[in-house]
C-alpha cells in the first residue's frame, strides 16, 4: 500500500499532471471570466491533450533528465516500456472528446497544440540555441491560446476586447515567468546542450532577481490595466493572488528549496483554486 501511494504521489508530482490539470483550469477560468459555459468533456479533453504531450516530453528526454532530475527519471523507468501505450491512449482520449464536441475550429486548434507539443523537442527546442529564451516564449504561447477554447466552443466571434487582451496577456506573461523559474532547475543541462535560457546565460542569482522584478512590474501593469478597463474584480484579485504566489515560490527557489519548483509547476492549479474560492466562498 505504501508503495502504491508513493508511486501515485511521484506520478502526480513528476509527470506533468499538475500542469495538465492546470491547462484545463485555464479553460475553466477563461469560461468563468467570459461568462461562457463549457462542458466537462472540454476540460477532460484539454487535460488529456496536455498530459499526452507531457508524457511524450518526459519519455523522450529521460536520459537528459537523469542528471538534473534523478528522482523523476527513476520513477519513469519503473514503467518506461509502457509509456508509448499510455501516451497513445491519452491522445486517443483527447481526440475522441474533441471529435465528440464537434466544433471544427476547436478541433483545429487542439490539433495544432498537439503537433507543436510533439515537434517541440524534435525541432523547435534547438532554436533556443540560437534565439534567447525561445522555448519560454514557445511554451507560454501554447498555454495562452487556451484562453480561446471557451470562445470557440460557444461560437463567440473573436473580437478584440479589454478582457480578452487582459487575460491573454496575463496567461502568457505568467506562463513565461513560470518557465523562466523552472529553467533554473535545468540550468546546467541547458548550458551543456547549448540552449540559451536565461539561467544558462546569466546564472541563477541574476535570473532569480530578473524574474522577481518582472513579476512585480507586470503585476502592477495588469492590476492597473484591470482597474482602468473596469475588468471583473475576480480578474484583478487573481492577479494580486498570483503576485503573492510568485513572491513566495521565487523566494523559495532563490534559497534553493526544491519544493519551490513543485509549487511553481502548480501555478495554474493554484489559479483554479483561487477562482473556485472566489466563486463559491
What does DSSP assign to residue 215?
A: H
The percent helix, strand, coil of the chain (3-state, each to 5) is 85, 0, 15
pLDDT in tens, 18-65: 999 999 999 999 999 999 999 999 999 999 999 999 999 888 877 766
Which of 206, 234, 233, 236 is CA-nearest to residue 221? 236
* Secondary structure of residue 58 in the 3-state scheme: helix
Phi/psi of residue 30, nearest 5 degrees: -60, -45
Read off φ and ψ for residue 37, nearest 5 degrees: -75, 145
Cβ proximity of 149 and 30 under 8 Å: yes
**CA 17/CA 121 separation, integer angstroms:** 19
d(CA 42, CA 33): 17
DSSP labels for 151-163? Answer: HHHTT------HH
Q: What is the Cα 170 distance to its own chain's centre?
A: 13
How would you write the pLDDT of the chain (281 residues) with one tens digit per residue?
Answer: 787 888 888 888 888 899 999 999 999 999 999 999 999 999 999 999 999 999 998 888 777 666 667 778 888 888 888 888 998 999 999 999 999 998 989 999 999 999 988 888 777 777 877 888 888 899 999 999 999 999 999 998 888 899 999 999 999 999 999 998 888 877 766 666 677 777 777 777 778 888 889 999 999 999 999 999 999 999 999 999 999 999 999 889 888 888 888 899 999 999 999 999 999 87
Amino acid at each position: 500500500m505504501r508503495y502504491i501511494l508513493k508511486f501515485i504521489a511521484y506520478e502526480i508530482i513528476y509527470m506533468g499532471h499538475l500542469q495538465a490539470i492546470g491547462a484545463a483550469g485555464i479553460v475553466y477560468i477563461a469560461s468563468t471570466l467570459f461568462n461562457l459555459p463549457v462542458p466537462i468533456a472540454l476540460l477532460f479533453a484539454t487535460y488529456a491533450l496536455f498530459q499526452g504531450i507531457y508524457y511524450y516530453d518526459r519519455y523522450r528526454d529521460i536520459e537528459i533528465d537523469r542528471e538534473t532530475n534523478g528522482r523523476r527519471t527513476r520513477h519513469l523507468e519503473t514503467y518506461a516500456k509502457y509509456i508509448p501505450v499510455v501516451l497513445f491512449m491519452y491522445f486517443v482520449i483527447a481526440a475522441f472528446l474533441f471529435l465528440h464536441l464537434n466544433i471544427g475550429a476547436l478541433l483545429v486548434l487542439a490539433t495544432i497544440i498537439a503537433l507543436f507539443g510533439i515537434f517541440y523537442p524534435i525541432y523547435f527546442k534547438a532554436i533556443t540555441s540560437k534565439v534567447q529564451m525561445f522555448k519560454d516564449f514557445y511554451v507560454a504561447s501554447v498555454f495562452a491560446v487556451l484562453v480561446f477554447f471557451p470562445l470557440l466552443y460557444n461560437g463567440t466571434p473573436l473580437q478584440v476586447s479589454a478582457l480578452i487582451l487582459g487575460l491573454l496577456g496575463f496567461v502568457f506573461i505568467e506562463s513565461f515567468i513560470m518557465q523562466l523559474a523552472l529553467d533554473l532547475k535545468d540550468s546546467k543541462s541547458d548550458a551543456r546542450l547549448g540552449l540559451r535560457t536565461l539561467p544558462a546565460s546569466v546564472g541563477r542569482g541574476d535570473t532569480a532577481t530578473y524574474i522577481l522584478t518582472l513579476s512585480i512590474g507586470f503585476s502592477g501593469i495588469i492590476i492597473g490595466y484591470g482597474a482602468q478597463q473596469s475588468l471583473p474584480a475576480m480578474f484583478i484579485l487573481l492577479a494580486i493572488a498570483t503576485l503573492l504566489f510568485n513572491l513566495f515560490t521565487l523566494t523559495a527557489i532563490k534559497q534553493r528549496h526544491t519544493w519551490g519548483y513543485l509549487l511553481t509547476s502548480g501555478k495554474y492549479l493554484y489559479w483554479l483554486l483561487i477562482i473556485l474560492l472566489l466563486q463559491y466562498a
